[in-house]
Amino acid sequence: MFDSFDFVQQLVLPAALFGVMVTVGMELTRRDFRDLVAAPRGFLIGGAIQLTLFPAIAVLVLWVVPLPVATAVGLAIVAACPSGGFSNVLTLLGRGDLALSISLTTISSVLAILTLPIVLAFALAVADTGAGEQDVVSVPLLPTLGQLFMVVLLPVALGMWARATHPAWVQRNIDRVQQAAQVLLYGVVLVVAIQDWKPFSAGIEASFPLAALMFILSAGGGYFLAIAFLPRAQAFTVAIETGTRNVGLSTLVAISVLDRVDWAAFGAVYILPASALGFAAALAHRRAQRRDRQRARALEQQQVGRAPGP
């Protein structure tokens, strides 16, 4: 029989993440793939930045900064995870390129079955530098791939199937379904933290400022790299996609794959500064767009006023 913690860890948490990933798949249609083929620039540049920048910054931090082992491993896990569905909400709020955001979130989630074990193994090797033998961490490949198939590929495919076969229902209900799935997932992460609070709380003090710094560096770096090649709305979208991570998946990897609750702390803590800073960035981008529109209208009125009469 499961005790309450085992029940949450082995059944409720995977089920909650499964539900979130179904809603990610609901966002994607065959038309999205056709649009990416027709105009791939934003997706290719954004995807390259999204997949590499956060892990690169995390590896640099792990190499340079001495961190508690739980925080270091937690950072490595988060760095290996794809962007989260909350990035779509922030992109919509900030008037970014929603189609690009949805495409990047979905494709990075699907690719996670390949990229997550590789990035995680490499980041953990860096994180373990200088650690004692008892702290050396290895990634069990087959269990990791099995978990990723069950909570990433399968639900995304189901979501796409639902969108293709019941488009009217999905269009009417997707916002409510996404909100309910996100609330359930974050609620389950909170329950996990409360149920095993002592080991979970051990890394929180070191995790919070590091989480804020990681979002600032990754989102800020993503924006400044993307703005050299893409319009500002797409650069903002890439920044949000780069800084936002799938913390539900990071929690699942820490607890269900690596069997350590304390290694889930960084991912759970990351929700707070990433959400707050992401909202601030979205509002700033929205105001900047409004100012640009006002300047454009003023310039147009000046040009009309200077135009010679008949």
Provide the pLDDT for residue 272: 81
Q: How confident is the model at residue 306 (pLDDT cuts 50, 70, 90)?
A: low
Does this model's pTM top 0.85? My answer is no
Q: How confident is the model at residue 58 (pLDDT cuts 50, 70, 90)?
A: very high
Structure tokens at 43: 């997706």
Report pLDDT digits (tens) over 231-285: 988 999 999 999 988 887 888 888 777 777 777 788 888 888 888 898 898 888 8
Helices (H), 227-308: 232-243, 247-252, 265-306
- Domain map (residue ranges) of the chain: 4-279
Tokens 């530098």, residue located: 129
Name the DSSP letter for residue 134. Answer: G
CB 25, CB 160: distance < 8 Å = yes
Report pLDDT digits (tens) over 8-50: 555 666 677 777 778 777 776 667 667 667 768 888 999 899 9
CATH C-level class of 4-279: mainly alpha
Length of the chain: 310
Report pLDDT digits (tens) over 164-220: 888 888 888 877 887 787 777 777 667 666 665 665 666 666 678 888 999 999 999
Provide the pLDDT for residue 1: 39
The one-letter code for the residue type at 247 is: V
Q: What is the share, in percent, of the chain residues with pLDDT greater than 90?
A: 14
Report pLDDT digits (tens) over 119-156: 888 887 877 644 444 455 555 555 666 666 776 677 87
